[in-house]
Structure 1
Amino acid sequence: MTCIGVLGGMGPAATVDFMSKLVELTPASCDQEHLPVVVANLPQVPDRSAAILGRGADPLPGLRRSVEILNEAGAGVIAIPCNSSHHWYRELCELSLAPIIHIVHACIERIPAGARRTMVLATRGTLASGFYQRELEAHGQHCVAPDPVRDQPFVDDCIRRVKAGDRAGAAASLQVMLDHAKAEGADVVILGCTELPLAAAAGTDAHGMLLIDSSLELARAVVEYGLRSGWNHG
């Protein structure tokens, strides 16, 4: 049976959140109308952001092993609910037997016409990789990143607290960053790390800015792909 493949485990809570969104977005009235999904939940993949910054082990072998598992499972499309892993998107596409939906492309679809200033909140590795900046600018968006000294520590702390299970503390750090984004004139904020939506859900004020949940948009794109392919009908 052809299925959706999820390259997960980075982190586990973000993967569970992504799976929950897949289920919620699928129009189904019974079990049999849901989309088949296989998840490779391998949290031992080395830290992606540290590797991009030259401070940690190479995660690519672990990412490739997950793709191989999903190939063997018959995945017809693959989603990676970890933004930093998209630094190795090209290498993973070369190995995958199925298309891999790029998380940035899914987010760009939700940016409204007329948006002037889009801020990306993400790991230091994702920002250093530059794939968000390149894709957004290619689509005519003015992309800004948090100030690395004043603002990024709040993003770092938010992600760390989600991974440690402290969502209330994570929400407090994210709120500081959203306050700064509003002060800098952002009208769109992309939550470009799949831990950040978990913090936002714990209680934050977006000050009227549009928050784009990268996990939700990736799930939306994957569900649409699966429904178009008829995988919910067996």
Structure 2
Amino acid sequence: MAMIGILGGMGPLATVDFMDKIVRLTHANSDQEHLPLLVANLPHIEDRSSAIIDGGADPLPALLDGIDLLNRNGVGLIAIPCNSAHHWYGPMRARSKAPVLHIAQTCVAAVPRAARRVALLATGGALVSGFYQQALADLDIEPVLPDESMQLRVAACIREVKAGKLDAAGARLEDVLIALASQGVGTALMACTEIPLAARHIASPPLILIDSSLELARATVKYACERGWNRPA
């Protein structure tokens, strides 16, 4: 039986949200028409941003252990609902026996064609890594990075989601979106899978928000359904 492998736990709430999106995006009339998922929810993987920015503990060994776990169980595709972890996309893809979707590629593909400047809302580690900036540049789109004050609020938003403080996270995020809108930015990528959870607590976001978790889920469902993984044998 072909299964989708999810390398998650970074963080757990974002992983559950990603799974929920896969279920909701799958056109099914019964349990048997849903997609099989094997989820490695591994919250003890070392902090990705700390490793990228400050030389903190290296998460790659634990990430590769997660890939190995999914390999042993014969998954046919791997999705990783953590943006910062894609700093190590190359070695993870090399270790995997199955294709591994790239969250930035799926997210940037959803940017409106008319957009020429797009804000990046992400962890400091993902911004330093630069893979989103490169993906946007490949489409001739200018990435707009938050200034230091905004980035502190984005980081606080992400921490509050991880701590389950969603209302407070939404307030932090709304402040950032208002500031970006005042600069003439019309579109922002929620390039951290915690941020969409905060965005749900904003009544009327002033920007077009593109959800990296949702776009990864769409690509995952498309891949699996095209191969009939949603149809009973």
* Structure 2 residue aligned with 1:233: 231
* Structure 2 residue aligned with 1:29: 29
1:175–1:205 CA contact under 8 A, matched in 2: no
Deviations along 1:62-117, one digit per CA (max 9) or x if unpaired, are 10011011111111111000000000000100000011110011112211111121
* Structure 2 residue aligned with 1:77: 77
Identity percentage of aligned residues: 51
- Supply the AA of the counterpart residue of 1:214: S
How many pairs does the alignment contain? 232
* Structure 1 residue aligned with 2:107: 107
Q: Compute the displacement of 1:27 (Å).
A: 0.3
Q: Compute the displacement of 1:233 (Å).
A: 1.2
Q: Compute the displacement of 1:55 (Å).
A: 4.0
Alignment gaps of 5+ in structure 2:
none
1:171–1:204 CA contact under 8 A, matched in 2: no
Query: Please, what is the CA RMSD of the aligned residues?
Result: 0.9
* Structure 1 residue aligned with 2:130: 130
1:161–1:169 CA contact under 8 A, matched in 2: yes
* Structure 2 residue aligned with 1:173: 172
Structure 1 segments of 4+ aligned residues over 2 angstroms from their partners: none
Measure, in 1, the Cα distance between the counterparts of 2:11 and 2:113: 32
1:79–1:222 CA contact under 8 A, matched in 2: yes
Measure, in 1, the Cα distance between the counterparts of 2:119 and 2:168: 22
TM-score norm. by structure 1 comes to 0.97
Alignment gaps of 5+ in structure 1:
none
TM-score norm. by structure 2 comes to 0.98
Measure, in 2, the Cα distance between the counterparts of 1:150 and 1:202: 21
* Structure 1 residue aligned with 2:200: 201
Measure, in 2, the Cα distance between the counterparts of 1:157 and 1:43: 19
Measure, in 2, the Cα distance between the counterparts of 1:164 and 1:78: 27
2:169–2:198 CA contact under 8 A, matched in 1: yes
Three-state SS of the structure 2 residue aligned to 1:5 is: strand
Three-state SS of the structure 2 residue aligned to 1:38 is: strand
